[in-house]
Amino acid sequence: MINKEKLLLIGGEGSLPYLVWERALERDYQVFSIGFSFLRPFPIDFWSEKLDSFSLSEIGKIAHKWGVGKVCLVGKIPKKYLFNQQLTKPRELDLLSGSQDLKDKPLLEKIFYWLQQQGWEIVSPLTFLGDFLTPARVITRSSPTADQWQDIVYGWHLARFLSDQEVGQTVVVKGQSVIAVEAAEGTDETIQRGIKLAQGKVVVVKAARSRQDYLIDIPGVGPKTVELFREAGGSVLALEAEKTLLIEPEKVQRLADQLGVSILGIKQSDLIP
């Protein structure tokens, strides 16, 4: 009997954990998955275990029980849960906030360091999702107008700066005016706020960090994000090409075409200096 390589999948919200789970099985991994009951998980219940708190010690016990050698973290865990003492044990909160630096990258680096100290190899979700990276082109029937391109250029430089400063990765722009900036609430909530404030068509730009670490975080959007444009009519979603994930791209393209939304992948070389 062949002993399959064991992978521990620690999943957040959305469909990404399920997609990684599917593809890991296709690659003949034996997959064990941990979810959290307080999140909004993918509706198909594929979790091996569900925890009621974000507990590194509990995760460690489970992983040792299953004898896994590799760990993959994927899916959004909103930062608001890390501020909830009922969901994070005091010992682990001390570990996560040691220097009082609660920015995304330092937080995740501390978690990864702890996992590696336990002897596990960290596997990037891109190992399984590389074909979802946004291509450098317009992927929808409609393309941005000249005015929208001005908003894209303006928004991209701002989004890159904010991403590098660990503030957020998404900005909402209209008429070269910043309508909303992502912080701890996440991409979809930022878009909803921007649409409401602008009362009409907006341009949304999402950029990765200058030195994006794909073990740490992978920016991405999917069909749910495009749905948010419905109430605003035709708009633009510009994603940094080859550094952001476009989840379920065929579904995203079909939905965007129905709504009259332009979606494109952009590189720095595409932008006006």
Asked if residue 272 has pLDDT above 60, the reply is no
Tens-place pLDDT, residues 112-144: 888 888 888 999 999 999 899 999 999 999 999
Per-residue pLDDT band for 187 (boundaries 50, 70, 90) equals confident
Radius of gyration for the alpha carbons in the chain, expressed in angstroms and rounded: 19
Per-residue pLDDT band for 102 (boundaries 50, 70, 90) equals low
Any idea which residue has 């994000």 for tokens? 225
Give kind and range of the element (H or E) at residue 265.
strand 262-266
Choose among 81, 74, 100, 88: nearest CA to 12.
74
Give kind and range of the element (H or E) at residue 51.
strand 49-51
Q: So what's the pLDDT on residue 27?
A: 93
| Token couple for 237 | 């979603």
Beta partners for 172? Answer: 180, 204
Spatial separation of the C-alpha atoms in residues 56 and 51, rounded to whole Å? 11
The angle subtended at Cα 207 by Cα 201 and Cα 213, nearest 5°, is: 155
Answer CATH for 6-129 from 3.30.470.10, 3.40.50.20, 3.20.20.100, 3.30.450.190: 3.40.50.20
Q: Same CATH fold, 133-270 and 6-129?
A: no
The angle subtended at Cα 201 by Cα 195 and Cα 202, nearest 5°, is: 65
Asked if residue 88 has pLDDT above 70, the reply is no
Tens-place pLDDT, residues 26-79: 999 999 999 988 887 776 778 899 888 888 888 888 888 999 999 999 988 777
Give kind and range of the element (H or E) at residue 131.
none
The values of phi and psi at residue 128, to 5°, are -110, -20
Choose among 84, 65, 91: nearest CA to 8.
65
Cα–Cα distance list, 144 to 126, 201, 204 (Å):
29, 12, 12
**39 secondary structure, DSSP code:** S
Asked if residue 261 has pLDDT above 90, the reply is yes
The class (CATH top level) of 133-270 is alpha beta
186 or 161, higher pLDDT: 161
Q: Structural domain boundaries of the chain?
A: 6-129, 133-270
Q: What mean pLDDT value characterizes the chain?
A: 84
Tell which phi-psi region holds residue 32, choosing left (phi > 0), alpha (psi between -120 and 50) or beta: beta
266 with 136: CB under 8 angstroms? yes
Give percent of the chain with pLDDT exceeding 90: 42
Asked if residue 107 has pLDDT above 80, the reply is no
The residue type at 156: W
Q: So what's the pLDDT on residue 85?
A: 59
Per-residue pLDDT band for 1 (boundaries 50, 70, 90) equals very low
Give kind and range of the element (H or E) at residue 11.
strand 6-11
| Token couple for 68 | 């896994």
Q: How many CA atoms lie within 13 A of 84 on its CB side?
A: 13
Range list of H helices, 124-183: 126-129, 146-164
Residue 71 DSSP SS3: strand
Alpha-carbon 135 to chain mean position: 17
Q: So what's the pLDDT on residue 116?
A: 83
Beta partners for 206? Answer: 170, 239
